[in-house]
Amino acid sequence: MSPPGVDLVWNPAGATDLVLLAHGGMEESKANPHAWRAPILRMWPFAAAARAAVPNAAVGLVRYRYRGWNGAADPAMDLRAVLDELPPVIRRVVLIGHSMGGRAVVAVGDHPRVAGVLALAPWLPDGEPLTKLRGPVTFAHGTDDTITDPRATTAYANRLRAAGTPVTVYAVTGETHAMLHRPADWNALVATFAAGALTSSDPGPVSEAGTEPLPECAPRSSLPAAVGSIALARLRLPVVERFEVKSSPAQ
């Protein structure tokens, strides 16, 4: 078992901010989450979008110990350990997570380094503990997602609102869990969110209740084109540095 950490794909000199991407996984699995699995690869276009939007910030992908949530919130513990042990120069972290990664970024979104939380098709089951999230908070979920429930995302957002946390929730019409039908719109959301969280005092529009449609900024994509864009992003963004947590995450 490897320790949790971060694969940095962009780390400009003097960076004090980090956009940190958390990939999806499984409900139960202690298997190795190797770097060529589909849930991890799906995050690479978001890394490219974040780098373009906030070029002065570092960009990295979280490495978990295991593939699964495992009933003990293993990915959330890994992510919190990463936030605790990042070099002191990193002062602000924007968290962006998909599916199980969306659940993880919500679970640790109260960390003092967090400057914003974006959850894409998050897995937020009934009874998920409420976290006092920091910075702008946005959830986005495909209307045709059959893996994680967009209604559960809206329900969790409404609980946050009732507790005093402003949340924007986007319904991504015609999109499924893999986010391959409207990849340009997902990329635009990631870029806009990262830039707003790190470079603007205005968090942007906040929906007071329910959901609003995610704007369509480009024609919908074919599956081969979407997969091709993932492969291209992976090839164009090599890992430039690796950071590993030195202490074991709390059990």
User: For residue range 5-42, what is the model confidence (pLDDT) as tens digits?
Assistant: 999 999 999 999 999 999 999 999 999 998 899 999 99
pLDDT for position 150: 98
pLDDT for position 247: 80
Long-range interactions of 49-53: CB distance < 8 A, separation 24+: 49/187, 49/188, 49/190, 49/191, 49/194, 50/19, 50/21, 50/94, 50/96, 50/190, 50/191, 50/194, 51/9, 51/10, 51/237, 52/191, 53/190, 53/191, 53/192, 53/194, 53/195
CB 19 within 8 A of CB 57: yes
**Angle CA(56)–CA(16)–CA(136) in degrees, nearest 5?**
85
Is 251 among the domain residues?
no
CB 70 within 8 A of CB 25: no
Average pLDDT over residues 75-92: 98
Q: What is the largest CA-CA distance in the chain?
A: 46
Is 25 among the domain residues?
yes
**Angle CA(100)–CA(37)–CA(138) in degrees, nearest 5?**
30
User: For residue range 93-109, what is the model confidence (pLDDT) as tens digits?
Assistant: 999 999 999 999 999 99
Average pLDDT across the chain, whole number? 95
Is 51 among the domain residues?
yes
Asked whether the predicted pLDDT for residue 156 surpasses 80, the reply is: yes
Is 250 among the domain residues?
no
CB 66 within 8 A of CB 29: yes
Task: Give the confidence band of 207 by pLDDT, cuts at 50, 70, 90.
Answer: low
Is 199 among the domain residues?
yes
Residue in the block written with tokens 């373009």: 52
pLDDT for position 248: 72
Average pLDDT over residues 166-190: 97
CB 70 within 8 A of CB 214: no
Task: Give the confidence band of 218 by pLDDT, cuts at 50, 70, 90.
Answer: confident
Average pLDDT over residues 166-181: 97
Q: Give one DSSP letter per residue of 136-173, joined into a string.
A: -EEEEEETT-SSS-HHHHHHHHHHHHHTT---EEEEET
Is 222 among the domain residues?
yes
Is 249 among the domain residues?
no
Average pLDDT over residues 38-50: 97
| CATH code of the domain containing 59 | 3.40.50.1820
**In terms of residue numbers, what domain contains 148?**
5-244
Task: Give the confidence band of 203 by pLDDT, cuts at 50, 70, 90.
Answer: low
Is 62 among the domain residues?
yes
> 205: exposed, middle or buried (C-beta count within 10 Å: 0-12, 13-18, 19+)?
exposed
Task: Give the confidence band of 2 by pLDDT, cuts at 50, 70, 90.
Answer: confident
The domain total for the chain is 1
Least confident span in 69-78, 124-133, 206-215, 234-243? 206-215
pLDDT for position 77: 98
